[in-house]
């Protein structure tokens, strides 16, 4: 089979020059390692966008021979625009922990973990997804983490969004570089009591990154299993926007306990959110519920509530999909400025009386109740009075 694979790969074309990889002598390495096909090519002069075309062509040409999940593509480049090269550029941050020894590095390639492996030291894992980008997923995830922490839990966050990893900015830790400990586990970065790990720490901000889906699954596995999470109650995963193969492959191997879907009230966003709900259902992942973000804006001058992105749509969707509604988060300037400045909303005590603050408290409680249902205290009714329960 390897000969057939090599023959087909020789015909892969460089989209820039139109010449075959064979002519340009780009293949550095082609081998089968157990059931994995490991490929390496020289990508000098091939931009990240074109790289994606190349990798699509590779998959197309081999799909009847090797399962897509078993193809691992590495690249080398003398100009080093490559993300995996960029990993080598990770510079160690001044060490704050004694056991910290080396700058942490991600391994290239696939996750090869067993199906649905639990993450050691982590209570519940929650995936946070949205059908489309820009609906406030990262803002929500970071502030939910802070809310759960305020409610007494130990919380971690994985920023699995390779397109726009934003947690380093939101948590004010853009220049940090994770290190690994003596057991070769990556030590998560900590901010406001939240431990977190982000793709953003391992790539150059200016490098557009296009990683193939199955590889991303592998890197997320590393964030789950090769990071020293050490005693978390909740680990939240900020997924890349969308409901495609990337998101699927990221979470299909790990034992995720529940999912939250974020949507704005618009119809289009809702349509995407429904796709998200279907994806999580396909994975047999319990849906904790849906959150409506940017639900309305209360004008500081006139006091009126404006429904900038429509109204009530998420309610309709949750009814149709028969999933819980977790709450709505209005538009507030401080949510954005807090994130931009690395001082997230839920760390700012001065905002305690605001609508967004109470929304997060309510949502945090519902999320916790999903896993640890609390029995309601008896209300002041006849039976309670008879039993003397409300004294
Ligand atoms: N309720 C809100 N009020 C005000 N600004 C908000 C609100 N929710 C999100 N934002 C702002 O909207 C922008 C997009 O939010 P965010 O980055 O969290 O979305 P996302 O879904 O994670 O986006 P992406 O798909 O790019 O990852 C950010 O500037 C954020 O600060
Ligand atoms: Mg985001």
The residue ranges of every structural domain in the chain are: 2-81, 102-371
Angstrom distance (rounded) from CA 360 to CA 329: 8
Which ligand has an atom closest to residue 265 CA? 1
> CATH homologous superfamily for 102-371?
P-loop containing nucleotide triphosphate hydrolases (3.40.50.300)
Which of 132, 133, 134 is the pocket-test mutation for ligand 1 (most atoms within 8 Å of CB)? 134
Q: 202 and 88 in contact (C-beta within 8 Å)?
A: no
pLDDT at 197: 94
Centroid of ligand 2 to alpha carbon of 331 (angstroms): 16
pLDDT in tens, the chain (391 residues): 889 999 999 999 998 889 999 999 999 999 988 778 888 888 888 875 577 678 778 878 888 888 766 777 777 766 433 333 333 333 333 333 334 455 665 554 443 334 577 888 899 999 999 888 888 999 999 999 999 999 999 999 999 887 778 999 999 998 898 998 888 889 999 999 999 999 888 776 555 444 444 456 667 788 888 899 989 999 999 988 877 766 777 777 778 999 999 988 877 667 777 888 888 888 888 999 999 998 877 766 676 777 766 667 777 778 888 889 999 999 999 999 999 999 999 999 999 999 999 999 999 999 999 998 876 544 444 444 444 444 3
- CA 75 – ligand 2 centroid, Å: 27
Residue with CA closest to ligand 1 atom 3: 331
**pLDDT, position 93:** 32
Distance 340 CA to ligand 2 centre (A): 12
Distance between Cα 165 and ligand 2 center (Å) = 6
Task: Name which residue sits closest to atom 29 of ligand 1, judged by CA.
Answer: 336
Task: For residue 320, report the distance from its CA to the centre of ligand 2, in Å.
Answer: 26
Q: pLDDT at position 293, please?
A: 93
Distance from the CA of 138 to the center of ligand 1, in angstroms? 7
- Residue 313, φ and ψ in degrees, nearest 5: -65, -40
Q: Which atom of ligand 1 is nearest to the CA of 133?
A: 25
Test site for ligand 1: of 161, 305, 336, 345, most ligand atoms within 8 A of the Cβ: 336
pTM beyond cutoff 0.75: no
Tell how far the Cα of 99 is from the centroid of ligand 2, in angstroms: 32
Asked if 327 and 296 count as a contact pair (C-beta separation under 8 A), the reply is no
- Output the residue whose Cα is nearest ligand 1's atom 18: 136
Look at residue 89 in the predicted model and tell me its pLDDT.
32
Q: How far is CA 35 from CA 70, 240, 249, 300, 350, in A?
A: 7, 28, 18, 62, 57
**Which residue's structure tokens are 């980008």?**
133
Residues with CB under 6 A from ligand 1: 130, 133-139, 161, 164, 166, 241, 293-294, 329, 331-332, 335-336, 339
CA distance 57 to 192: 45
Closest ligand 1 atom to residue 262 Cα is 21
What number does the ligand 1 atom closest to the CA of 340 have? 31
| pLDDT of amino acid 309 | 65
262's tokens: 């974020």
Report the distance separating Cα 149 and Cα 129, nearest Å: 21
Strands 232-238 and 36-42: unpaired
Q: Judge whether 9 and 27 are in contact, CB under 8 Å.
A: yes
Report how far residue 263's alpha carbon sits from residue 315's, in angstroms, rounded to the nearest whole number.
Answer: 11
Closest ligand by atom to 139 CA: 1
Ligand 1 nearest-atom number relative to CA 338: 31
What is the CATH code of the structural domain delimited by 2-81? 3.30.300.130
321 within 8 A of 274, measured Cβ to Cβ: yes
Give the integer Cα–Cα distance in Å for 238 and 142.
Answer: 9
């Amino acid at each position: 089979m390897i000969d057939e694979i090599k023959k087909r790969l020789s015909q892969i074309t460089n989209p820039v020059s139109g010449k075959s990889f064979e002519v340009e002598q780009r293949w550095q390495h082609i081998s089968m390692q157990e059931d994995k096909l490991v490929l390496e090519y020289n990508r000098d002069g091939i931009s990240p966008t074109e790289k994606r075309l190349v990798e699509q062509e590779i998959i197309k040409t081999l799909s009847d021979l090797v399962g897509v999940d078993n193809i691992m593509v590495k690249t080398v480049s003398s100009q080093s625009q490559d993300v995996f090269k960029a990993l080598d550029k990770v510079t160690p941050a001044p060490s704050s922990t004694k056991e910290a020894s080396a700058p942490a590095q991600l391994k290239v390639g696939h996750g090869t973990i067993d199906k649905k492996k639990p993450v050691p030291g982590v209570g519940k894992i929650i995936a946070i997804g949205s059908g489309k980008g820009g609906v406030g997923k990262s803002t929500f995830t970071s502030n939910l983490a802070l809310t759960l922490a305020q409610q007494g839990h130990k919380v971690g966050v994985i920023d699995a969004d390779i397109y726009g990893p934003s947690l380093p900015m939101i948590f004010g830790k853009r220049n940090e570089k994770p290190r690994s400990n003596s057991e070769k586990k990556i030590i998560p970065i900590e901010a406001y009591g939240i431990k977190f790990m982000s793709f953003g720490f391992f790539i150059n901000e200016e490098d557009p990154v296009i990683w193939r889906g199955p590889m991303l699954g592998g890197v997320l596995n590393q964030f789950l299993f090769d990071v020293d999470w050490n005693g978390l109650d909740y680990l939240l995963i900020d997924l890349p926007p969308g409901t495609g193969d990337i998101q699927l492959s990221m979470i299909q191997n790990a034992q995720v306990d529940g999912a939250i879907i974020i949507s704005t009230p618009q119809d289009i966003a809702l349509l995407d959110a429904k796709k998200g709900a279907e994806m999580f259902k396909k994975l047999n992942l319990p849906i904790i519920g849906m959150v409506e973000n940017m639900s309305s804006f209360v004008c500081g001058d006139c006091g009126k509530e404006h429904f900038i992105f429509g109204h009530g749509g998420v309610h309709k969707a949750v009814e149709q999909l028969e999933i819980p509604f977790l709450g709505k988060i209005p538009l507030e300037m401080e949510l954005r400025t807090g994130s931009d400045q690395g001082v997230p909303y839920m760390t700012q005590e001065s905002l305690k009386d605001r609508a967004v603050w109470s929304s997060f408290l309510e949502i945090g409680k519902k999320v916790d109740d999903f896993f640890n249902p609390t029995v309601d205290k008896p209300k002041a009714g006849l039976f309670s009075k008879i039993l003397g329960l409300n004294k």
